[in-house]
Amino acid sequence: MARHMIDVPAAEGLPAGRIVDVGSRGAYRGEPDIPAYGASKAGLHSLGQSMAVRLAPHGIAVLGIAPGFIATEMAGYALAGDQGGAIRAQSPFHRVVTPEEVADAVVALADPWSHWASGAVLDFNGASHLR
């Protein structure tokens, strides 16, 4: 994808493209029950930051987002019962993020005017993990 973006001319004053990686707060807080998940998300965030530096001369911004638990079918097992209540209580909002909220954040990060945040990873976890 980046190779294609390099070949696309940018509009005056705007970056040629944006890449938004969706990782996880698990990259920063650790995932003792599923360590490969946390490690892979940390790798994704590191790759995104490296690519932000590499692709900037081509006018391509690379940003990341690190959501906490998302109310999806995949997370359904963890969000059920008492365990789910404990997970929701990790955030002072006492809930987890919706897929639509994550999508809205990705759209905001993909906006041409957010290019100066290239290399950043947005913590998007409802204050459930602060670093």
Pull the structure tokens for residue 112: 């041409």
Residue in 8, 11, 14, 37 annotated catalytic: 37
Q: How far apart are CA 45 and CA 54, in angstroms?
A: 14
Residue pair 119/49 in contact by the 8 Å Cβ criterion: yes
Query: Which structure tokens are listed for 57?
Result: 């001369």
Does 28 participate in catalysis according to the annotation?
no
Q: What stretch of H or E contains 51? A: helix 35-55
Rounded CA-CA distance 64/110 in Å is 10
Catalytic positions = 37
